[in-house]
Chain A
Amino acid sequence: MNVPTEHLLALAAILFSLGVLGFLTRKNLIIVLASIELMLNAANLTFVAGSRAWAAEGVTGGSPLQGPIFSLFVILVAAAEAAVGLALIIALYRLKQSVALDSAGELKG
């Protein structure tokens, strides 16, 4: 694949922006959680782009490997975060019968 690194980075930036937009504008907690996953994927794509670029530069040793390794850790943490987020959503739903962010508004001041 002979695609310039810039294009991979631009794709990642677009996906990250979409995630941020979803995080800031949506009220449904499940969709907000999905937006966070999208942002994490954008980060992973950036790691891949960086690693590929440095491998192509002919850098040897651990440097090109650090990207995919960080990506693996990100996938692991994304799974854990999704589990915690969904558990919190269940707990909130049990008390409020709703998964909308607006329903989380008891604390004010």
Chain B
Amino acid sequence: MAETLFYLLSIGAIACGAGVIRARMPLFSVLCLLGAFFCLSGIYLLAGFQFLAVTQLLVYAGAIMVLFLFVIMLLNLGDENEIARQSGIALSGKQLAVAGTSAGVFALIGVLTAGYGIAPVETASTRASGIDELQTLAVELFSRYMLPFEAASLLLLLTMIGVIAIAKRQRAGEPTHTGAGFPWTKEPLDEESTL
């Protein structure tokens, strides 16, 4: 039963993945991506990674996907003929060569990895509470991986600042700062507006 479900989900994930890169409109592409996230989440659950499956749904389907859809709506993409025309697969000879080579390389990786042999045996402990038991995960995160965990918070803070600074619309007449910010220097104020 679980095996059948896995193969069904795999086929779904591959189909959605193909949809992501083949879609003519960005909106369809992003919806296919959502489907792929769902399929993968199901696979994680089947493999015994309950927390990861939930996180996958919450963060990917909940947050990242909303962000994508928000931007598509904001820029009003999708119902413009121009965008649809630009987004069709346009392969020149050179691009075809690149694509062919890369597909070959990664197919090779797939073949290589297929020769890898650990036969998984389902153990009683992994079936009961999953491999990524929340408690052990938390202890590991707060002891051994304390440094990347804390660094990740700084990463998110800086990303937030950077994203706002790039995407925010600059209003005319907003106070701006160009100087070094030392108490003993005067800030030169530039009147010229940029956007």
B59 and A79: CB pair below 8 A? yes
B33 and A38: CB pair below 8 A? yes
B40 and A21: CB pair below 8 A? no
Q: Which residue of B lies closest to A22 (CB)?
A: B21
Interface residues on B, range: 35 or more
A30 and B113: CB pair below 8 A? no
Set B64, B91, B119, B155: member contacting A82, Cβ < 8 A:
B64
A26 and B21: CB pair below 8 A? yes
User: B186 contacts the other chain (Cβ, under 8 Å)?
Assistant: no
A100 and B86: CB pair below 8 A? yes
Q: Which residues of A contact B (CB under 8 A)?
A: 1-11, 13-22, 24-28, 30-31, 33-35, 37-38, 41, 44-45, 48-49, 51-58, 62, 64-65, 68-69, 71-73, 75-80, 82-84, 86-91, 93-94, 98-100, 102
- A9-B114, A17-B110, A91-B166 as given contacts; A28 in contact with B10, CB under 8 Å: no
Residues on the B chain within 8 Å of A6, using CB: 113-117
- A5-B116, A10-B114, A14-B110 as given contacts; A88 in contact with B20, CB under 8 Å: no
User: B106 contacts the other chain (Cβ, under 8 Å)?
Assistant: yes
Q: List 28 A-B contacts (CB under 8 A).
A: A1-B48, A4-B119, A5-B116, A5-B118, A6-B116, A10-B113, A15-B14, A19-B21, A21-B102, A27-B86, A31-B87, A34-B26, A41-B36, A41-B37, A51-B131, A53-B118, A55-B48, A55-B123, A75-B55, A79-B63, A80-B156, A82-B67, A86-B71, A86-B167, A87-B163, A93-B75, A98-B86, A100-B87
Q: Which residue of B lies closest to A15 (CB)?
A: B17
A17 and B103: CB pair below 8 A? yes
Residues on the A chain within 8 Å of B44, using CB: 48
Chain B window 2-21, contacts with chain A (Cβ cutoff 8 Å), 1 for yes, 0 for no? 11011100100110011011
In whole Å, how far is B69's beta carbon from the nearest beta carbon of chain A? 10
A37 and B64: CB pair below 8 A? yes
A72 and B55: CB pair below 8 A? yes
Residues on the A chain within 8 Å of B83, using CB: 28, 98-100
- A1-B6, A13-B113, A79-B63 as given contacts; A24 in contact with B123, CB under 8 Å: no
Q: A27 to B44, alpha carbons, bound, how many Å?
A: 32
A31 and B21: CB pair below 8 A? yes
In whole Å, how far is B81's beta carbon from the nearest beta carbon of chain A? 13
Q: A104 to B23, alpha carbons, bound, how many Å?
A: 21
Q: A55 to B48, alpha carbons, bound, how many Å?
A: 11
